[in-house]
């Protein structure tokens, strides 16, 4: 085995995927070139779903990757790393992802709720992992960062809404004169 394969790296996560009950992609982020095309990614996801949707385990080795998975109502969550990646680290990423979403979605971790709040879910995912590098594994910290950013976005949107409302009011009064 090459020594470069055993060198420590910050790039722990190869991908994070959320599939629905039928194995269809809801959200997928791949952080390296293991699967260079969308077709390869979807083929891998289909194989992964077929191997895990009836299983009781939490870990599977597939196509040279360690995959940690968890399901909730009508969703399947997957965190993937290399074959020699520490499963405990990947499990902590999975725990952080699931617990963060559970708090953000008010314990309603299901397809409709996730799709309704997809912008916040993607923001949470980006707070956990960036380019395959684990940034945060504490779900409370992720939720705080996401809420802070959403408040900031809401403030900016509110300001735009207020400007538009003010313009409408001025237009209305100018037409009434």
In a domain, 177, yes or no: no
| CATH at 110 | 3.30.450.60
Dmax (CA) for the chain in angstroms is: 83
Q: How many helices (H) and strands (E) does the chain have?
A: 5, 7
The token pair at 138 is 């504490």
pLDDT (0 to 100) of residue 75: 92
In a domain, 17, yes or no: yes
pLDDT category at 1 given cuts 50, 70, 90 is: very low
| Distance (Å, whole) CA 90 – CA 54 | 21
In a domain, 112, yes or no: yes
Q: pLDDT, tens digit, for every residue of 92-123?
A: 999 999 999 999 888 888 888 888 888 888 88
pLDDT (0 to 100) of residue 46: 94
Q: Where are the beta strands (DSSP E) in 48-159?
A: 59-62, 65-72, 75-82, 129-130, 133-134
pLDDT category at 151 given cuts 50, 70, 90 is: low
In a domain, 100, yes or no: yes
In a domain, 168, yes or no: no
Rounded percentage of the chain residues whose pLDDT exceeds 70: 81
pLDDT category at 66 given cuts 50, 70, 90 is: very high
Average of per-residue pLDDT values in the chain: 83
- Work out the average pLDDT over 137-144: 90
- Residue positions counted in the chain: 177
In a domain, 159, yes or no: no
The whole domain housing 66 covers 3-153
154 sits in which H/E element: helix 139-176
In a domain, 174, yes or no: no
pLDDT category at 175 given cuts 50, 70, 90 is: low
In a domain, 162, yes or no: no
pLDDT of 174 strictly over 70:
no
Count of structural domains within the chain? 1
**Total-model pTM:** 0.79
pLDDT (0 to 100) of residue 3: 47
């Amino acid at each position: 085995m090459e020594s470069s394969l055993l060198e420590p790296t910050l790039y722990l996560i190869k991908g994070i995927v959320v599939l629905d009950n039928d194995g269809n992609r809801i959200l997928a982020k791949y952080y390296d070139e293991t699967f260079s095309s969308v077709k390869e990614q979807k083929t891998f996801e289909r194989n992964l779903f077929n191997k895990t949707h009836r299983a009781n385990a939490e870990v599977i080795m597939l196509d040279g990757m360690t995959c940690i998975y968890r399901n909730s109502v009508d969703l399947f969550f997957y965190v993937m790393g290399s074959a020699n990646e520490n499963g405990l680290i990947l499990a902590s990423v999975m725990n952080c992802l699931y617990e963060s979403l559970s708090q953000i979605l008010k314990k309603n971790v299901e397809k409709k709720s996730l799709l309704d709040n997809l912008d916040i879910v993607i923001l949470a995912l980006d707070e956990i992992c960036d380019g395959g590098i684990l940034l945060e594994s504490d779900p409370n910290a992720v939720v705080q960062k996401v809420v802070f950013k959403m408040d900031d976005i809401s403030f900016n949107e509110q300001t735009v809404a207020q400007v538009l409302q003010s313009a409408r009011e001025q237009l209305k009064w100018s037409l009434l004169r």
